[in-house]
Structure 1
Amino acid sequence: MIAREPALPVDPRLPGEPTALEVGCTRLWLGRRGVRVWLPTRLLALRIGARGFELRRRPEQAVVAGVLAAFFPVLTAGTDLPGRGAALAVLFASVQVLRWRRMQRRERLAERLTAAGTPPSLRVAARQVGWWYLSAVAVTFVGGAVLCAAMFLTAPRFGDHWYPLSVDIALSTIALAVGAGATALVLGKTLRSPVIAEDEASRLIDEALRAEDAHRYASCAAYALFAVPVLMMAWEPPALLEWAAWAYLAVAAALELTGWLLLRRRYRRLPPGFYGR
């Protein structure tokens, strides 16, 4: 298979062939960045088409996600069980990892189209991903661990529930650790994955996808909301601890949002190059 050949969606059942939907998604992605092509190259169609449109490709997943998001608070409102926020955090981490693993299967096909280059240096890869995002990761998990430890030290033994508050705090701490593990799995692979490119245009696409993968499959702001027990438990924490929790949530969300906006601005327009026909 010739990597630079336009990505004709011949038969989706053939291994290594971009599907019609992947070609369409790639055209949309390139079009939003100022590149108009009818048929993108196979390499770009495999890589771009596999990202960001999983729910559209599988509408039943969108339905399940919508139902869970709408009815989870209703279903758990009458149950006095610990760790409801922690359960949402673990569910979010699981979905993120599953989406990432599905994308990686297409990424391995793209690697076989070209001689995969060496990974960029860690500093270069970190700069591509963005220091704002990496700062958000550090604040989310280091700050979350500090807040969980403070909760263990300040929370009373029992609150308004039949179970000790320490159980809720422990479940939230475990959920935060699960989120940290999921983020480390995706981010580690993102930073150390080889460059998959055949020319300067696809090399720039590789940089953009590397940066977007961190935000798309390793978003960390959700863990700051659901996995930190200060904001998810029915008790009155000390004023300083509550203030610190809200400040922590605001800083983590602001850092990640800033990183995403700067990323969109950086790759808002792609330079001239061979992206297809």
Structure 2
Amino acid sequence: MAAQELLNARILIVDDQAANVLLLEEMLKAAGYTQVFSTQDPTTVCALHRRHPFDLILLDLQMPVMDGFQVLEGLKANNANDYVPVLVITAQPGHKLRALQTGAKDFVSKPFDLVEVKTRIHNLLEVRLLYQRLANQNKRLEAEVLERTAELRESEARYRSLTELATDWYWEQDHEGHFTKVSGPVLEMLGLRVDALAGSEVAPADDGWDETQRQALQARINARTPFLDEGLSRQYANGVQKHYRVSGTPMFDAACNFVGYRGFGVEILG
């Protein structure tokens, strides 16, 4: 992480004592920090943070009107899903555990050692900025996923349209095997209901379809496996025999859950 990135972090000092505020401001500016802000009124902290979020808040616990614990509660309520690094400053050792339980990320004791304070500030800012990087990266990934999903849906629509145009018939089934889409002259070409072809409805015994081939086709669909150019034949009463090539593939959603099956068929001419 670049040092300048840390030095450009937004830091807020909250202390009702002007001398303490001045000491911390001088220390931070001498260390090279460029965006140091302060307030002696703890009631304004939450509003300030909402308006322009800080990367680190240095918070005194013992203040009149509103103490540091109340400030921590307010920050937590307003930023439940955000990482708000707060370094508390206290002269009471017994306050440390309560402060950490209330949402503080670290603490220093009064009278504080300036080297220790600078080290703890540096460490907290590193964590904060890494957290921000991760959050920004997650947002970019989410945007990419949405973009890719839209592209996939568009490709899916193009594929379906082209498939319907290039084949004699096309079908889609849901995960229970019910037909949700059928296109093409199915009844005219096959002379029976598509449900009967797929086996979910009993076809007439003399329908002329090769039962072995039809059972093999249904087995592939039931197994949710893709297949290509599966042969299917039908013998008509007048002696005419027609042959078809049938292909199919399972469909899955974005979470890789099986949602159905699609397939298409063409008559083999000549």
Q: Which has the higher helix share?
A: 1
Larger Rg: 2
> Quick one: higher RCO (CA 8 Å, sep 6+), 1 or 2?
1
- Common topology (TM > 0.5): no
Smaller-chain TM-score bracket: under 0.3
Q: TM-score, normalised by structure 1?
A: 0.20
